[in-house]
Structure 1
Amino acid sequence: MPQVEVYDKSRDPLDHLESFKTLMHLQGVPDEIMCRAFPTTLKGPARVWFSKLTPNTVSTFKELSGHFVTHFIRGQRHRKSSVAILNIKQQKDESLRSYVTRFNKETLLIDEADDKVLVTAFTSGLKQGEFFFSIYKNDLKMMAETLYKATKYMNVKHAMIAQGDTPRKRERQDDPRPNGGRKSAQTND
């Protein structure tokens, strides 16, 4: 029998059911066998639920599927709309890496997120700075290329820090004022 990840009530029941049906149909398994094989994919509370079904009350896999989904649909993770990601903003002291991670986690909870919406939400949530400027300057259209650009930026910044160069140090070096804008000790002679 093909291996299906067990269902323990913590995941989406529709996803579990579709995975099971897809594997069974690929193997050409008849409806009766699907009914008998399905409980082997259940664990914990889901297995207890199945054992409480009255014998001989389910005659097709479609009926069994209906009972399963009806009972476990409450545990299904609710998907967010893509509008929800428009509220994700990079915090004042938040690193770009942390923002990217948080943004990506939120996008996993969204059904059918459009690439243009993702790029718009990501860029509008960025705090102003070098990376913000470079993203708007390049007018990126795909989320994959936006994340690629963010990764390159983070890697360069990490390499600069590793070499002892920091953005503040560079600003002082580029400052045309004497001593790079640093205050020097004045003597009163």
Structure 2
Amino acid sequence: MIAFTIVMGRTNFAPDEKDAGYCQLFVENLSGHALSWFSRLESGLIDSYQELSTAFLKDYSIDIENGVSEADLYTLSQERTESLRSFIGRFKTIVSRVKVPDKIAITALINALWYESKLREDVKTNKTQTLEDALHRSNLFIELEKNKEAMAKKHAATKTTVIKDKAKEECRESQHRSESERKREEGNRKAHNFHVSDAQRPPLPRQPWNKWSREDDPTRYCEFHKRNRHSTMECRHLQEYLLRKY
């Protein structure tokens, strides 16, 4: 980078062409692993030579400090709950710092992906030949994963609303059933309360109200039972007594 900066200082670019010219010459002088690193940069990520040189130095300084090797690529693996975006980001970071043929890099990618990954199945089925193509395919599956997560959140919100509405409806139905049962019970109680006419025959000699005679007595008559075994008043008293007791 120091040598390149010295050489670039001797160029005569116009002020408005300097930044683009520096980027172009910088890329033209890359080769091998450095050129592979540049080819894997996301589109629209770099807007100036300053950003390009900073990204380049940042990646290569990490390589020097951490000593990234091919072993890091082979031991890489996607966690079960790790998003595809996160894993591909880690994979790109490592593969951009090691110099391996595309065939080996693709094999490492397949082995590192979670065994149920749709991307893993796609790369194997379509026999992807270049790492660039494999990473391009990964972008499609990352978008599908994002859309699936968005739909899952939307569905969860709708499901929560439906559950709340259902709970409210069940509460209203329960209240309605309770009210209906109460009214039905009241109706049943009323149905058992038979009506006895207040009309009475001329007063007769009083007999104990709780004594029930099985023999006809011409001196007593019940308007409800239409019999001469007890009076209407005795029948009413007996009904009220039984209702209070039971």
Tell me the TM-score normalised to structure 2 length: 0.36
Q: Which of the pair has more CA radius of gyration?
A: 2
Q: Which has the higher contact order (CA 8 A, sep 6+)?
A: 1
